[in-house]
Amino acid sequence: MLNMLPVHANPILILGDSLSASYGMEQDQGWVHLLQQKMPDTTIVNGSVSGETSAGGLRRLPGLLKSVQPKLVLIELGGNDGLRGFSPKQLKTNLAEMIRLSKQAGAKVLLSEVMVPPNYGPRYAQIFTQVYQDLAKEHQVTLMPFFMTDIAIHPDLMQADGIHPNQAAQAQIADFVQPWLLDTQPTPL
């Protein structure tokens, strides 16, 4: 856990791809909706779009920041960049600009690590993963481990495509993400 700072903010903007957009199921079955049910006093806006790349997220972010006015932005993007073999350098540039824009708008940033499947080769996978670690250090933002790591290895939690989590995995993802969003600082005595 790099730079694990407790965060509690309202509203929260989730900016992600199909992993956060309830791909293959109804919106109310996805982890973001389940998380909203677990955190009824927090407004969570799901700005995720299936198929979204970091460039697409960057294009949409200014409008989302203006309309939502989030206090926290969870960025879960890059998987589609990796699946399409896009340059990790461009991914880093796009994510860095999203972090900058979010901070400029007064929001804290929680960056979700994203990994590519092993069939892309160890060199590309390492360079890709390093982008998130470097961004967290360079921009002093909290890096949340990839929530699919413990899910993707269980076929019973995956859709037939082997990429997307199924409905059975959604509560597990919500349980994984929630502590990263909550203020866990002890109350001063």
- CA–CA distance, 119 with 122 (Å, rounded to integer): 8
Q: Is 183 a catalytic residue?
A: no
Instruction: Name the phi and psi angles at 117, rounded to 5.
Output: -60, 150
Q: Is 18 a catalytic residue?
A: yes
Rg over alpha carbons for the chain, rounded to the nearest Å, is 16
List the catalytic residue out of 20, 48, 112, 164. Answer: 164
Q: Is 54 a catalytic residue?
A: no
- CA–CA distance, 81 with 91 (Å, rounded to integer): 7
List the catalytic residue out of 17, 18, 48, 54. Answer: 18
Residues pairing with 13 in the sheet = 45, 73
List residues with catalytic annotation.
18, 161, 164
